């Protein structure tokens, strides 16, 4: 059972979806991150070694009026020397789309729950096999499900999670698709929004791009989460915009 837990220190609710750890992983895996022997003596390479040269720059804070919070901006961080793990080549193997036994998002691919994806030729939508949100038909939150403990508050959540396949070819990305193919994806987004926005409080369409943000499959696809509650940050931004402010004039 997935649910939300309340963080009293941050005054925000966080989704807990334990079933997500069981989804099949076909994204990139990290290389060996062990430090090379004797690395600390190479001051010309290692800025933390005795005599190593470090970078410096002016950092600052910027105000986010929607969230009413200050965010540190440290542009110099992108210039820091990287000597940690590096990802192996994550490019999709040639012919990956035809290997339906390996790629569950490919046309004809078999997914973890035993279902088979149809031989689609354009876009394709299906219910996520490892959803963070599920729906039993009741849209409203039940107050009786709320744990009354002030330190540990939680209650069930309801909604739906869908996978939006952009194209049957696993070697493509949005940037390499034709205008017509991209228009088909946008039409899909609109259709999904039209279907769900009257049923749920919030509908989010997004894409996790790359293994570093949790993309488990390189096939061109996105995600849709629809929930019976407004998540913490959208709720904060929504409430902020309702308050009279010179910023919005």
Catalytic residues: 221
Sign of CA dihedral 95, 101, 104, 108: positive
d(CA 45, CA 31): 20
Coil, helix or strand at residue 74:
coil
> Do the Cβ atoms of 215 and 92 come closer than 8 Å?
no
Distances (CA, A) of 248 to 65, 70, 146, 153: 10, 18, 36, 35
Strand ranges of the sheet holding 12-16, from the earlier edge strand across to the other edge:
12-16, 3-7, 153-156
Q: What phi and psi values does residue 125 have, to the nearest 5 degrees?
A: -125, 140
Distance between CA atoms of 200 and 94, rounded to whole angstroms? 40
Distance of CA 62 to the CA centre of its chain: 24
Q: Is 62 helix (H, G, I), strand (E, B) or coil?
A: strand
């Amino acid at each position: 059972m997935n649910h939300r837990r309340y963080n009293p220190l941050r005054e925000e609710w966080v989704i807990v979806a334990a079933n997500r750890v069981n989804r099949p992983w076909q994204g990139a895996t990290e290389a060996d991150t062990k430090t090379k022997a004797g690395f600390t003596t190479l001051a010309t390479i290692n800025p933390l070694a005795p005599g190593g040269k470090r970078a410096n720059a002016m950092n600052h804070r910027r105000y986010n009026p929607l969230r009413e919070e200050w965010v540190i901006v440290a542009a110099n961080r992108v210039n820091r020397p990287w000597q940690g793990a590096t990802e192996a080549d994550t490019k999709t193997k040639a012919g990956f789309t035809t290997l339906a036994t390996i790629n569950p998002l490919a046309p004809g691919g078999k997914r973890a729950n035993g279902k088979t994806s149809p031989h689609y030729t354009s876009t394709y939508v299906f219910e996520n096999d490892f959803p963070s949100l599920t729906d039993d038909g009741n849209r409203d939150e039940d107050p009786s499900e709320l744990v009354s403990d002030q330190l540990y508050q939680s209650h069930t959540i309801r909604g739906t999670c869908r996978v939006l396949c952009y194209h049957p070819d696993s070697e493509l990305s949005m940037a390499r698709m034709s205008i017509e193919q991209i228009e088909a994806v946008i039409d899909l987004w609109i259709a999904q929004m039209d279907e769900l926005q009257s049923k749920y409080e919030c509908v989010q369409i997004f894409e996790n791009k790359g293994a570093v943000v949790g993309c488990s499959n390189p096939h061109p696809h996105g995600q849709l989460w629809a929930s019976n509650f407004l998540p913490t940050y959208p709720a904060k931004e929504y409430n902020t915009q309702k308050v009279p402010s010179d910023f919005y004039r």
